[in-house]
Amino acid sequence: MHECLDTTATVLVGFERVPFIVHKGLICRYGDFFRGAFDGRFKEGKDMEVELKLDSVKDFALFLHWLYAQSVHVPTTSEHKKYAVYEDVRKATTKSKLAPIGSGHAEVDSPLAREGIEERSVSADGDLENSKNTTAAEEFASAAPEDTTTKEISSTVQDREAEGQGTDDEDPGVDQKEDEQTQDCLVDLFVFADCRGVSGLRNNTMSLLTSQRDSDWSLLTEDSERVGRAYSSLSQGSAPCRYLVNEAACWWGADLADLGDYPTDFIADVLRAVLVARSEGKGLEPMWHDNMCILHDHVDTAEETACKAAKKGD
């Protein structure tokens, strides 16, 4: 394990270029993308820096927590507000520089195919503050693109920070809103892990999603935008998409919102799941109850066996 901790590297995340310092060996051990990016054949490996312009600070900070703690962190109310500051900056910058990318995630090619994009690196403690302790507005001002009005972005950040000055205790809808934000976080985190080749994070994210559903969490499929984001960012055969289909087939009732807001592929998959269950004379049950690993991506049977043993021990 010592060889994973003997060298550090830097990852610069988002258009804000928020720096995170990480242990190179550790991030390469768990992430296929980073293993390739820090390979000595590429500029990133020589400079020990990777830049992830299209990733969010929120996703990377949650990834780092998982990397060092090996558990998925559920953000608190105050953390959601801090992440929102960076999200506002990222969305505003993305809108000015690129065509809209919907979910906030775009396809990222391999380092070899991205010769024109400088890759860099980021920090192990997952702090949302940068190493110079500047504010989000100040950090952005130093790296804003030429065709972006920094003043407008700074104003957006300050407005968001001002929104967070009130207390949440007086609002009965805060808990529900926080749950919805967390659900969005977990879907986005899976997309990040899928894009960066972090199978362990994908598996842990699905385990948390299913355990929360078993604890009477609200349905992820109640939000058509969330479903659309998953279907546009992931393959239909991915664990989150299969989960969403199974959830809808098991729990949806007659009091549905307008189905026209949902992706047609998703509605077709739900209908297919219901018809298959009916034709086989089976009732619809949560797919993960008999075997949680059906939503996991294990590298081999030994890892799957160890995962099932750990679940039995919980």
Give tens-digit pLDDT for 219-263: 999 999 999 999 999 999 999 999 999 999 999 987 776 888 999
Whether residue 160 is contained in a domain is answered as yes
- Give the Cα separation of 269 and 6 in Å (integer): 48
* Residues with Cβ within 8 Å of residue 170, at least 6 apart in sequence: none
How many angstroms separate the Cα of 36 from the Cα of each of 39, 45, 118, 242, 257?
5, 9, 14, 29, 44
- Of these ranges, 82-96, 124-138, 198-212, the one predicted with the greatest mean pLDDT is 198-212
Range of the domain at 166: 1-174
DSSP class per residue in 281-311: T-----TTTT-GGGG---SSHHHHHHHHHHH
**pLDDT of res. 97:** 56
Whether residue 214 is contained in a domain is answered as no
* Residues with Cβ within 8 Å of residue 94, at least 6 apart in sequence: 15, 54, 100, 101, 104
Whether residue 19 is contained in a domain is answered as yes
Mean pLDDT, range 11-23, rounded to an integer = 92
Give tens-digit pLDDT for 94-141: 666 544 444 444 333 333 333 333 333 333 333 333 333 333 333 333
Mean pLDDT, range 80-85, rounded to an integer = 85
13 residue type, one letter: V
Q: Which two tokens stand for residue 59?
A: 């996703």
**pLDDT of res. 121:** 34
Work out the mean pLDDT of the chain and round it to a whole number.
Answer: 77
Whether residue 107 is contained in a domain is answered as yes
**pLDDT of res. 131:** 36
Fill in the DSSP letter of residue 20: E
**pLDDT of res. 116:** 37
Whether residue 154 is contained in a domain is answered as yes
pLDDT band at 163 (very low <50, low <70, confident <90, very high): low
* Cα distance from N-terminal residue to C-terminal residue, the chain: 26
pLDDT band at 67 (very low <50, low <70, confident <90, very high): very high
pTM for the model stands at: 0.74
**pLDDT of res. 171:** 54
Alpha-carbon torsion 206, 212, 215, 216, what sign? negative
Whether residue 106 is contained in a domain is answered as yes
Number of domains composing the chain: 1
pLDDT band at 5 (very low <50, low <70, confident <90, very high): confident
Least confident window among 57-61, 90-94, 135-139: 135-139
Whether residue 102 is contained in a domain is answered as yes
Whether residue 229 is contained in a domain is answered as no
Give tens-digit pLDDT for 31-42: 999 999 887 677
260 versus 159: the higher-pLDDT residue is 260
**Which of helix, strand or coil describes residue 224?**
helix
